[in-house]
Structure 1
Amino acid sequence: MDTYAFSDQAVADVFSSYPESAALKLLALRHLLLQTADSVVGLDNVTETLKWGEPSYLCPTGSTVRMDWKPKSPEHYALYFHCQTTLVETFRELYRDELEFDGKRAILFHLKAQLPTTAVAHCIELALSYHHRKRLPLLGAFQEV
């Protein structure tokens, strides 16, 4: 399914450590993130690494995006954002009826639910281009920057 090879063996090892149901969902989320970055002009040079033991994606134009599954919440997996940005606040304004949030830091997904790819791809795009958007209303969600 995934055409994006891991560039960091430590990241690959984390994905292989997840239970199969979580790993499949997180691999799909990883694919969506990398595919979104590839499709948006200016989102070059996405680096895949570990931060706090979690797969993390950095781009010079944006804010770090992390993803993880945790045993203490086995029915969920999440996409994490820097809590001192306006990212999750903006996502909540845009997608309050489509996405579930954890405070100011994450979008939560249920393992048994389908990934809402259109909304999540838009959130990823806004996060990875955050430095160009942070002063725009709703992060310039409906305009090119």
Structure 2
Amino acid sequence: MQQLRALIFDVAADLPQTGGLVETLKWGEPSYLPKKKCVGTTVRIGPSKIKDYAIFVHCQTTLIDEFRHMLPDNFYYEGNRGVHFNVGTPLDKERLRLLISNALTYHQRQKVKSD
């Protein structure tokens, strides 16, 4: 989970439109959201009921569906809310960067689509 946290901060550093990150607890789990309002959605990390740990996004977004469509066999997905991992299995950081980036800019990207 520490590697996911570091990756989230690393991705956010490349996204100036977020204004940085707010790190907080939601449902008792580390959660990260852009400082600027209406830019992105929360990314949360925590223990998984399916595997060892997971990265979660808001279930009413299309993020997991989009990610699953692009990379159907690369990750273990849970519905429309999470990607799950096992301890000891290396993270595919390059591909996860895309999910994190898309989450932290979700609302901004949705606005562009509708314009």
Gaps in structure 1 of 5+ consecutive residues: 1-25, 138-145
Q: Deviations over 1:35-78 (max 9, x none)?
A: 110022312231000001010001131011100025x55x5210
Instruction: Give me the whole-angstrom Cα distance separating, in 2, the residues matched to 1:135 and 1:38.
Output: 22
Q: Which of residues 75, 85, 94 is equivalent to 1:118?
A: 94
Query: Which structure has the highest strand share of the two?
Result: 2
Letter in 2 for 1:52: W
1:90 aligns with 2:58: no
Matching of residues 41-56 of structure 1 within 5 Å: 41-56=16-31
Matching of residues 1-145 of structure 1 within 5 Å: 26-59=1-34, 60=37, 61-70=39-48, 72-73=49-50, 75-134=51-110
The 8 Å contact of residues 79 and 107 in structure 1, kept in 2 or not, is answered as yes
The 8 Å contact of residues 38 and 44 in structure 1, kept in 2 or not, is answered as no
Measure how far apart 1:129 and its partner are.
0.1
Letter in 1 for 2:45: M
TM-score (norm 2): 0.87
The 8 Å contact of residues 88 and 104 in structure 1, kept in 2 or not, is answered as yes
Structure 1 outlier segments of 4+, above 3 Å: none
Instruction: Give me the whole-angstrom Cα distance separating, in 1, the residues matched to 2:65 and 2:111.
Output: 14
* Higher gyration radius (CA): 1
Q: CA RMSD in A?
A: 1.6
Measure how far apart 1:96 and its partner are.
1.2
The 8 Å contact of residues 22 and 33 in structure 2, kept in 1 or not, is answered as yes
Identity %: 37
TM-score (norm 1): 0.70
Letter in 2 for 1:78: A
Gaps in structure 2 of 5+ consecutive residues: none
Instruction: Give me the whole-angstrom Cα distance separating, in 2, the residues matched to 1:136 and 1:123.
Output: 18
